[in-house]
Amino acid sequence: MEDREPNSRLDVLTESALQRLEASRGQKPRIVVQIGHCGASVGAVELADAVRSQFSGRASVTVAGCDGACFAAPSVLVECRSGDFIRLERVRADSLRQVGIALRAESASEPSSADGFIGSQRRIALEGCGLLDAESIDEYLAEGGYSAFVRSLSIGPEAVIDQVKQSRLRGRGGAYFPAGIKWESARNVTASRRSMIVNCEEGEPGLFKDRHLMEGVPHRIIEGALIAAFAVDSADIVFYINAEANLSAERMARAISQAEDAGIIGPDGIDIHVEIRRGAGGYVCGDETTLLNTLEGYRREPRLKPPFPTESGLWGYPTVINNAETLANIPYILSRGADAFSNIGDGQDTGTKILSLSGAVRRAGLVETPFGTTLREAIFTYGGGIVGSGRLTAVGVGGPSSGVFPPSMLDTPIKPGFLHESGVMLGAGGVVAIDDSLTALEAVRNLAQYNADESCGKCTPCREGTPRMVEMLDDLAASRATAIELKSLARLVNTASLCGLGQAAGNPILSGLHFFAEELGAEG
């Protein structure tokens, strides 16, 4: 936005958004139908059509993303006469009587299980997800959206970077590199242009946080990306979205178009080229340099480092690559201040982390919680414990690049990087509860097999070592191999591989041998 009047321009946009909302709603109560990729798989799209058909004359019907209570999908939020929202869970398109009852209710009575699930969280990136209209910019503007971007324009790029550095925000994609230092590094490289890439590949099994953010609060990610692009003086922004995340790409494309129509992106705002590119598929595409190769039309395999992307990235220019969750924290930092963010967490690690909670828990979904929260809290307080009559036997943390914990490690607090010397790390935040229907050997073997299947084949240690580790797991169980041999191979693959997949492919093996030696058939 023009330097001379950024605030007044935003005021005009916000006032126009409020007027449109008032005109479309009038005095009608709101009905919000949550449609995310989880809800869509169990009838949420058909449910929204049915709600519109039956209640559009009596209520203002809008579509939001899933708020992270995936276990309750499809969910509907109904505004009762007091102005509170009544949450209805697992609503069917052919049974809408409860929606009509909620519309006539004087006030919300008993909270739903999802109300407690969400209400006990500390939400920054996910704030408003599941309630804000996911298909319009108006509600985001009405709630103060893009004010952080306007503030960044007024204080200048160096001050923006300084704020992010002071907040001590680390990247949320799994590597946890300090975001402000990454931005500063790219800006300090002498170059004719720079690029900004938002990594929304999220190809890791057991991970679904970025999809929820794109589907529920797309403008928050866009605002964070615009602030980052301004700070590093980027000529373009590329949103790199998983090839199978169709709803995410659709919502992001609509939001980008709305930001352009509003003048936030363009000559009257920040004159920058913004586009969406779809991922080439595969877990390895989440690696920064692999992502760059696919954008340039090359094979999906990693590059040698150094040089790092901040020095030589897309087409050889300095490039900042940030995860969607990372950027969703930026508007909070720029609007509330670095101290407000850094005061959240355990003192050493600041802010919140979104956990993708799945497996044998009663309440699977997204949990945004401060660093320092334990795995026990994640599984039993948020997740509601183990479903059915099963018992918890292991916890998969961090996906196939990490490993498995026994129940004795449940009091481990979440933090960036490694949670244990055996190789278990938080990664991008996947937490999978494993019950006694799956043995420790099966869990470790599944992770090892996934790494073998996803290897791009460029590095000999990874290409040959990952399938051999799977074979040796079977040999170990049949007493045809020793734990020392398997451990040596796992360490070799980790040490000699080029990218993050290979460098962590041995971790499931190492953690399994450390915590579940007897179950894996290891000696002594």
Burial 324-333 (b: 16+ CB within 10 A, else e): bbbbbbbbbb
Residue 337 zone, left/alpha/beta (φ > 0; ψ -120 to 50; rest): left
Q: Cα dist. 228→195, 224, 319 in Å?
A: 10, 6, 11
List strand residue ranges (DSSP E) for 201-351, in order.
236-241, 273-278, 319-323
pLDDT of residue 523: 64
Taking CA atoms, 521 is separated from 389, 391, 395, 479, 509, in Å, by: 27, 22, 19, 7, 12
- Taking only the tens place, the pLDDT of each residue in 292-309 is 999 999 998 899 889 999
In terms of Cα–Cα distance, which of 450, 288, 429 is closest to 358?
429
In this prediction, residue 3 carries a pLDDT of 45
CB-based burial label for 67 (10 Å; 0-12, 13-18, 19+): buried
pLDDT of res. 202: 92
Task: Using 70 as the pLDDT threshold, list the residues of the chain that sit under it.
Answer: 1-6, 523-524
Helix-helix angle 44-55:97-104, to 10 degrees:
50
Cα maximum dimension of the chain: 75
pLDDT at 5: 57
> 465 near 492, Cβ under 8 Å?
yes
Q: Are strands 30-34 and 76-79 parallel, antiparallel or unpaired?
A: antiparallel
Distance (Å, rounded) from C-alpha 364 to C-alpha 95? 24
pLDDT of residue 212: 98
User: How would you list the strands of the sheet with 60-64, edge to edge?
Assistant: 60-64, 30-34, 76-79, 85-88
